[in-house]
Amino acid sequence: MTAALRADLPAARRVVVKVGSSSVSGEAAANIPALVNALAAAHARGSEVVLVSSGAIATGMPYLQLDSRPSDLATQQAAAAVGQNVLIYRYQAALREFGIVAGQVLLTAGDLENRTHRSNAKRAMERLLGLRIMPIVNENDTVATHEIRFGDNDRLAALVARLIRADALVLLSDIEALYTAPPEQPGAQPIDHVAFGQDLAGFEFGSVVVNSVGTGGAATKVSAARLAAASGIGTLVTRADLVAPALEGQRIGTWFSPNPAPPDSTLTGALALASQSVAAGAGPSATG
């Protein structure tokens, strides 16, 4: 069922969960079992779960003896090639006790622009879900270029949710909820709920930042959440360690209500969304 309310999340037929590099790489790799426990619980309730996971570049950095995120594309690609393998291994190791198999899906923005590639990606994920296999999606940073990329995995997650007609999207962050201004500023207040079409002009969301392991920021979460909500997909933004109560429908985080009358899932609409992702995502850094 479509998650019109936060409380509907436990009954959602299909859920996309996105987690960032800072939550699953480096010392934070120890968080993977807890994340997987929450996803497995949702899986056991009958939900079809897709995980969009950043972290390939950050995970690969130690194997390339890098102390900080590389700035050149070739080294980012090399780190991603090594790190994606390790990252999937860690997820599968954690999933094994639940009898769940992971299926790796790597996408580029071009894949969602091309009708044949988009259809193939959708068919593959639909089949994985039908077999009760958990797709783990990331941008294909090994072949991505500056000109053709999603820009951040929040947007990728929104586009994947749109592609497979998910009922809900959960964007995991480093803070419990979005705020009316950067949380460290006096007077900043958490935002509990964003109605569809609500004007957010009075709020101040942090711009995209690049840290030692990944890219992102509150602004990318808002952009992705509104993109998904416009397609009729309720979206929750909350902290990564709160994923279990989030998927249980507890009142945490910031909920973006879905469009009650979303446009049909047409080829034109899919192309438009993918084109938006390319336009917003062009830049010097791979998502990882």
Instruction: List, for residues 76-88, the tens digit of each pLDDT value.
Output: 999 999 999 999 9
In this prediction the pTM is 0.88
- Place 182 in a pLDDT band, splitting at 50, 70 and 90: confident
Residue type, 133: I
23 is in an annotated binding site: no
Instruction: Please report, for residues 7, 169, 208, 266, 276, the alpha-carbon distance to residue 109 in angstroms, rounded to integers and kept in the order given.
Output: 32, 19, 19, 18, 10
111 is in an annotated binding site: no
Domain annotation for the chain: domains and CATH numbers: 6-281 (3.40.1160.10)
Question: Whole-angstrom Cα distance, residue 118 to residue 227?
Answer: 18
174 is in an annotated binding site: yes
pLDDT digits (tens, 9 = 90+) for 107-147: 988 888 889 999 999 999 999 999 999 999 999 988 866 54
CA 155, chain centre distance (Å): 7
221 is in an annotated binding site: no
